[in-house]
Chain A
Amino acid sequence: MKLIHKLEPLWWILFGAGGFTAGFFLPALILGVLILAPLGVIDGGLSYQRAHMLAASLPGKVFLVAVISLVLWHCAHHLRHFAVDLGGHALAPIAAFASYGLALAGTIATLVIVGSL
Chain B
Amino acid sequence: MSAHAATAPKTRTAEPRPPAGFPFGFYRYRNYVVFAATSVFMALGCVGLIEALYALAHGEEAWKAFLANMARPHNLVLSVVVLLFTLYFVFRFAWVGRKIAAGRIGPVPRPPLPMPILGVAPIGGFVTFWLILLAILAGVLP
Q: Which residues of A contact B (CB under 8 A)?
A: 19, 22-40, 42, 44-46, 48, 50-52, 54-55, 64, 67-68, 71-72, 74-76, 78-79, 82, 85-86, 88-89, 102, 106, 109-110, 113-114, 116-117
Contacts and interface: CB of A to CB of B under 8 A. Distances in A.
Q: Is the interface of A mostly helix, strand, loop or mixed?
A: helix
Contacts of A75: 39-40, 42-43, 46
Contact-size category for B = 35 or more
A35 B90 contact: no
Interface string B66-102: 0111110001100110110011011001100000000
B121 interface: no
Contacts, number: 167
B116 to A, nearest CB: 18
By Cβ-Cβ distance, the 7 closest A-B pairs, closest first, are A45-B139, A32-B137, A38-B70, A75-B39, A38-B71, A28-B133, A82-B36
Interface string B127-142: 0011101101111100
A37 B42 CA distance: 19
A63 B121 CA distance: 24
A74 B56 contact: no
